[in-house]
Structure 1
Amino acid sequence: MGTGARYAAFNVIELETEQVQQPGDEQAEAAARIVQEVRPDVLVVNELTNNLQEGEYTDTANIDAFVENYLSVPQCEHLEGIDYPHTLQPASNTGVLPDEEFDFNKDGRAGERPGDAYGFGEYPGHYAFAVASRHPIDEDGIRSFREFRWADMPDNLLPVEGDGVDEDGLYLTEEETEVYRLSSKTHIDMPICVAGETVHGLFAHPTPPTFDGENNFNGRWNHDEVRFFADYVAGEGYIYDDGGTAGGLADDASYVLLGDMNAAPDGDRPLDPAGKFLFENEDFTTDRLPTSPGGAQRGNRYATRFGGDIEGVVEQIDYVLPSPDLSVRDSAAVWPSEDSDERGLLSDVRTASDHRLVWADIEA
């Protein structure tokens, strides 16, 4: 592939510590089988618990355990294991409570998980994500934006008490806006060295734009989380990282946005962040998107998540989107149709997650 690489995003729904720290878990085996079918060079796994934050099995990060116990072990006779020598398991805002007690979810009880954490989680590191790479990671160049405050984004949609928001809905007080973080998990810029060239892997997992009632709190939050990386690749100066360095990405940088953005491009949500910040944004290439027979069978060949039975909701919310200087040579979502299930893959697809792994071959 020359200077190219295969990038993949997979939301393996709520894959927890006890599942990956030892072999034999059915869901982890199914997820590993799907990854081995695709053999990506760079893989982001959404909803993999960060055990180092959780305080469990702290000798081995969950992403390394998943590689050792599952990805490196052939899951079918026709498959080979994959070794990922480079990994990143960033800290997540999920389940992390502020130093001072706040009642973010306005239930009358301050400082309680999951609703009063920076990001929804029953414990620190719940629903986190991690990255595995066959290419070296420039660890000194990694930028994390986990502590960036939502209120510091210009023209943000943050619902603030007394600012025309409904008191029956979710909102933040002025005091709460001083600490509330934008990222529900984290936003990470991870530079990857591919054949001597640097490609910035941009990873995030914005909150779902649902479960919030009046004020559309989560919808607003999702909108601004998706917006963040659009502003970052545009070089906006308001951005600062967790180390205090200000500014966005350089104009000549190459990058790939990967992960579950929880934002569909069909405009069914009034704020439409996917349309505004991804599909109508010349900073991301969206003209060759992953498709699948399974999605097409259900009416949307671009779908990456299946929320029910064969008549159920299908939506496109998982992405692999490169910068304009990079080219997509091939792409797909792993989702066989009901009548063309090659080698019994469909069973593992169902077992692994309600999301489908999406991948793209990208080169300069």
Structure 2
Amino acid sequence: MVRLKTRRALLKTIGGTATAAGFVGTASGRQRTRHGKQNRGTRYAAFNVIELETEQVQKPGDPQAEAAARVIQEVRPDVLVVNELTNNLQQGKYTDRTNIDAFVENYLSVPQRDDLDGIDYEYTLQPKSNTGVLPEQDYDFNKDGTFGKRPGDAFGFGVYPGHYAFAIASKYPIDTSSVRSFQTFNWADMPGNLIPVAGEEGVVTDPEDDEIAIYLTEEDLDVYRLPSKTHIDIPFEVEGGTVHGLFAHPTPPGFDGVNNFNGRWNHDEVRFFADYVAGEDYIYDDSGVRGGLDDDASYVLMGDMNAGPGLGRDERPLHPAQEFLVDNDDFYTDRLPKSPGGAQRGLPTATRFGGDFEGVVEQIDYVLPSPDLSLRSSSVVWPSKNATKQNLGEDVSTASDHRLVWADIATHPGH
């Protein structure tokens, strides 16, 4: 990637020195002015509530949704992204209201414990997802010998359209006329992409009996999309100005065989928003508008990137999070959210526990501001094993194998 020199790089130090020190375990670390008014800025949060499906949120009473709502009500974010929330409109179920609206109405707006208050999110958005969406013609994307079959031949892994999607809830207005989605961006249109293409040196197309080899053919390249869900830029009208929320949920880098297909795919999905904030001109959105984000724009990257700095296991040889997020001057990463629970397990910045790798802790969920913004405080909601507020620990485990990540971010020190 050729990174443009922007004013954001010059503002990195300014953004850092404007922040308050310290990481807190829940929402208790709020700043107040001398008049008693909260002065925390805008609280942004990302929460992968693992595979939260339509039947769970459209009716009250689901234990996982209740636990997730309790965690969210503890933190009380102003802007929230929920990863792995099914897009029911694409799925074709309960189409009278979106799943994000149902989750807000049935769970978030209702106190989930006597000492908690409900949260009313006036503004919501549920973007379309590539998961489970098949091309108009049949392709064998996963090279298993069958054509046009979910989940492997969809644009993104899913057993039905809208599976593993995500949605956004906000207390602040969304400038809907300026939303830019990139759901249909073609992977092959990214310069210097890492697509394993049939016929290229080192790309296996005739694997051994016990191997998986996923790759794209020249015909596949014409239609294969980069976003496994979608990439979307949503401008919020917060106190002090407009902040662009950048949302994505790249494919997990694994389960893909000798060509490291999903690892390469994840690498380029993570890279996309690094290129976008750098203003790269190869980018185009679903409306055909070309170019990246304006140089003077403020933004916050949010969500499960399925990529963490320093992940060195054999099935994850690439390090896109290190290159495109942590070491990228276009994001402020000098202080990352931490938790007591992660620290007890050897990684204070961890946001995920267990899952497909028993006992493994990973930092793969992010809330990263542009360096011109003021980071006030941040945290991962993961109590220590001996925390006195034990019910919170039970809730985070019931809700997901991921932990909610939040950050208080102001547009400038006065807000």
What's the TM-score, normalizing by structure 1? 0.98
* Deviations, residues 294-344 of structure 1 (Å, cap 9, x unaligned): 101101110000016998100000000000101211111111111014151
Tell me the residue number matched to 2:93.
Answer: 56
Matches of 2:49 and 2:185 in 1, distance apart?
26
Contact 1:207 1:221 (8 Å CA) reproduced: yes
Structure 1 counterpart of 2:371, one-letter code: P
- 2:281 equivalent in structure 1: 237
Which amino acid is 1:130 matched to? A
The reply on whether 1:298 has 2:345 as its aligned counterpart is yes
Letter in 2 for 1:41: D
Aligned residue for 2:320? 273
Read off the aligned partner of 2:126 and give its amino acid letter.
Answer: Q
Displacement of 1:103 in angstroms is 0.3
SS at match of 2:368: strand
Find the aligned partners of 1:232 and 1:309 in 2 and give their Cα distance: 31
Deviates further, 289-298 or 146-155: 289-298
Distance apart, 1:126 and its partner CA: 0.1
Conservation of the 8 A alpha-carbon contact between 2:40 and 2:408: no
Any idea what SS the aligned residue of 1:214 has? coil
Aligned to 1:202: 246
Match of 1:156 in 2: 193
Contact kept, 8 Å, 1:3 with 1:195, in 2: the verdict is no
**Equivalent residue for 1:32, pick from 69, 74, 79:** 69
Identify the match of residue 80 of structure 2 among 43, 55, 71. 43
Q: Alpha-carbon deviations, 1:168-221, whole Å to 9, x = none?
A: 211000000000000000000000000251000000000000000111000000
- Which structure 1 residue ranges, 5 or more long, are not aligned? none
Instruction: Report the counterpart of residue 248 of structure 1 in structure 2.
Output: 292
Q: Is 1:101 aligned to 2:138, yes or no?
A: yes
Pairwise CA RMSD: 1.4
Cα contact 1:233–1:249 (8 A) shared by 2: yes
State the distance in 1 between where 2:218 and 2:82 align.
Answer: 35
Which residue in the other structure is 2:20 paired with? none
Q: Which runs of 4+ in 1 moved over 4 A?
A: 308-311
Quick one: distance in 2 between partners of 1:4 and 1:13? Answer: 28
Residue 263 (str. 1) matches residue 301 (str. 2): no
Partners of 1:309 and 1:104 in 2: CA distance: 23
Q: Matches of 1:152 and 1:289 in 2, distance apart?
A: 32
Give how far 1:4 is off: 2.3
Corresponding letter in the other structure for 2:245: G
Aligned length: 364
The TM-score, its normalising length taken from structure 2, stands at 0.86
Aligned to 1:321: 368
**Partner Cα distance (2:284, 2:44) in 1:** 27
Q: For the residues of structure 1 that align with 2:357 and 2:297, how far apart are their CA atoms?
A: 42
The structure-2 alpha-carbon separation of the partners of 1:58 and 1:322, relative to structure 1 and needing over 3 Å to count, comes to: same
Cα pair 1:298 1:310 within 8 Å, conserved = no
Give the corresponding residue for 2:331.
284
Contact 1:226–1:261 at 8 Å: present in 2 too? yes
Tell me the secondary structure at the aligned position of residue 29 of structure 1.
helix
Q: Percent identity?
A: 73
Q: Which residue of 2 aligns with 1:142?
A: 179
Pairing partner for 2:109 from 60, 72, 75: 72
Q: Which residue of structure 1 aligns with residue 224 of structure 2?
A: 180
The code of the aligned residue for 1:359 comes to W
Contact 1:9–1:45 under 8 Å retained in 2: yes
Partner of 2:83, secondary structure, is strand
Partner of 1:189: 233
User: Equivalents in 2 of 1:110, 1:52: separation in Å?
Assistant: 25
- Structure 2: unaligned runs, 5 residues or longer: 1-37, 208-212
**Relative CO higher for 1 or 2, CA cutoff 8 Å, sep ≥ 6?**
2
The higher radius of gyration belongs to: 2
Looking at structure 1, the residues matched to 357 and 322 of structure 2 have their Cα atoms a distance apart, in angstroms, of: 26
> 2:174 matched to 1:130?
no
Instruction: Tell me by how many angstroms 1:289 deviates.
Output: 1.0
Aligned to 2:191, what secondary structure does the other structure show? Answer: coil
SS in structure 1 of the partner of residue 341 of structure 2: helix
> For 2:342, what is the secondary structure of its paired residue?
helix
